[in-house]
A = this chain, B = another copy of it.
Amino acid sequence: MLKLFYAPGSCALASHIALEEAGAEYTAYRMDLKAGDQRKPEYLATNPKGRVPALVTDRGILTENVAILAFVAQSFPKAGLAPLNDPFAFAEIQAFNSYLASTVHVAHAHRNRGYRWADNQSSFDDMRRKAPETISACFDLIERQMLKGPWVMGEAYTICDPYLFTIAEWLEGDGVDPTRFPKVHDHRRRMYERPAVKRALAEEGRG
């Protein structure tokens, strides 16, 4: 049985939705990041990174959305969440998700987590001020060049969609008007209508 460790409002929602889309049997464990659950010894024994998501499998633990999403797609091929026999098409998916992980999520993290990369309050304030600009630049690229529509990769719904949805959910909180990106905004609206998304949001207390 798979076990997903997540925190409400975190990027783990992407993996959570994918597990629902795949029809996987799993148990979801809620972490309270503000209470420091991710730094407790019992969690660090499972996931030394002290982050979410983490997916515990009978082979061991997996971390990083980019890896967990691909694992879900490959482990539940009938769900059709990625083109599994086409290295180029699969790589396009991994490229999109890797951009979300290494550039867009990172831009977002500078709004409230500047302490990861600097020590002074003035630096945190500077990063916080600039975050809406860098996040907007990312979403502008996604809107103009990357989101094929209606889903990220075109006609087929894939593991890119829950991840984009998850990060787009942060826009208002990051001080960016989501209506500036009409294709992303429409994508998000259509994601809310999916039963798997509704189930994952309900389980995370946002139903």
Contacts and interface: CB of A to CB of B under 8 A. Distances in A.
Interface of A: 48-49, 57, 59-60, 62-68, 70-71, 74-75, 87-88, 90-95, 98-99, 101-102, 105-107, 110, 116-120, 122-123, 126-127, 129-131, 134, 141, 144-145
Contacts of A99: 49, 63-64
Contacts of A105: 102
Contact of A67 (B74, B95, B120, B145): B95
A98 B130 contact: no
A113 to B, nearest CB: 11
A127 B134 contact: no
Given A59-B88, A118-B130, A98 B66 contact: yes
Contacts of A65: 98
A64 B126 contact: no
A127 B110 CA distance: 12
Given A62-B91, A101-B102, 7 more contacts: A48-B141, A49-B141, A60-B88, A66-B95, A70-B91, A119-B129, A123-B123
